[in-house]
Amino acid sequence: MTGRIKDNLKEVLEKINIAATNSGRSTNSVQLVVVTKKQSVQNIFEVIAAGANVLGENYPEETHSKANELIDLNQNYVWHMIGHLQSRKIKYILEHFSMIHSIDGGEIARELGSELAEVGTTLPALFEVNISGEESKHGFASWEEKNWPELVDQFLQIQAASPALTFKGLMTMPPFSENGEDSRPYFVRCRKLLEFYQKRSGDNSFCQLSMGTSLDYEVAITEGATCVRIGEAIMGKRIY
């Protein structure tokens, strides 16, 4: 071990602390998900040893093979699914994941919800929203505020149809930019959508905002993120 990942983790945690404090929030109101997709098992081993306990993954099959290699690790950690889910991968969600951030359609919610119900378990979940209108993005269309009433009603219907998924809030991914400030308007819009949901539904326990990555997590925290998903700033470059 070179200690690089440990140092990166420490630095990121400090920056999270500063961003939270500067916006009048407590550090533990922000959860860190360390994104480990396309990272070696050795690197994952290192970050767990350094104290990371929530790991984010995009490809359930990849997680499945890594989990087999990490099986003897005497450490507590959980996996969160943050990527687009295909129905045929649902079995891996049940096997390995403790939360899903990326429910991006009614059909996948129904399928996952019914499989969870079948085995008698529940899973915390977030609705992934496409807040920018970029065509390449997954997530519920939510860039036009005039459509929000309908969208929230759709969310409520999905929840009612799949009680095994316990929906806690929203996840979003703004358009790529090297400059974190460029993400701010999208984070603001996502927070507004969360507030709109709370008002319309009367449900204030729907309160999580998963937003912010390596390039913009400090901005996300100042705009209300309760969860940041950080990969390369901690783990180094991914190998594709």
Ligand X SMILES: *Cc1c(COP(=O)(O)O)cnc(C)c1O
Measuring CA to CA, which residue among 151, 199, 142 is closest to residue 172?
142
Burial 2-31 (b: 16+ CB within 10 A, else e): eeebbebbeebbebbeebbeeeebeeeebb
Return residues touching ligand X (CB under 6 A): 35, 37, 58, 82-83, 173, 213-214, 229-233
What whole-number distance in Å separates Cα of residue 172 and Cα of residue 187? Answer: 8
Structure tokens at 15: 């920056």
Nearer to ligand X, 55 or 233 (CB): 233
Give the shortest CB-92-to-ligand X separation in angstroms. Answer: 17
Rounded to 5 degrees, what angle do the CA atoms 178, 184, 189 make?
A: 135
Pairing type for strands 54-57 and 208-210 reads unpaired
Question: Is 37 or 189 the residue whose CB approaches ligand X more closely?
Answer: 37
- Shorter beta-carbon distance to ligand X: residue 23 or 214: 214
Nearer to ligand X, 60 or 83 (CB): 83
Residue 70 CA to residue 63 CA, distance in Å, equals 10
Q: Cβ of residue 24: shortest distance to ligand X, in angstroms? A: 25
SS3 104: coil
C-alpha span between 149 and 154 (Å, rounded): 9
What SS3 state is found at 145? helix
Q: How far is the CB of 197 from ligand X (least distance, A)?
A: 20
Q: How far is the CB of 116 from ligand X (least distance, A)?
A: 22
The nearer residue to ligand X, 85 or 230, going by C-beta atoms, is 230
Q: How far is the CB of 150 from ligand X (least distance, A)?
A: 25
Closer Cβ to ligand X, 7 or 118, answer by number: 7
What is the C-alpha separation between 188 and 162, in angstroms, rounded?
29
Q: For residue 136, give both structure tokens.
A: 């390449």
Give the nearest distance from C-beta 193 to ligand X in angstroms: 17
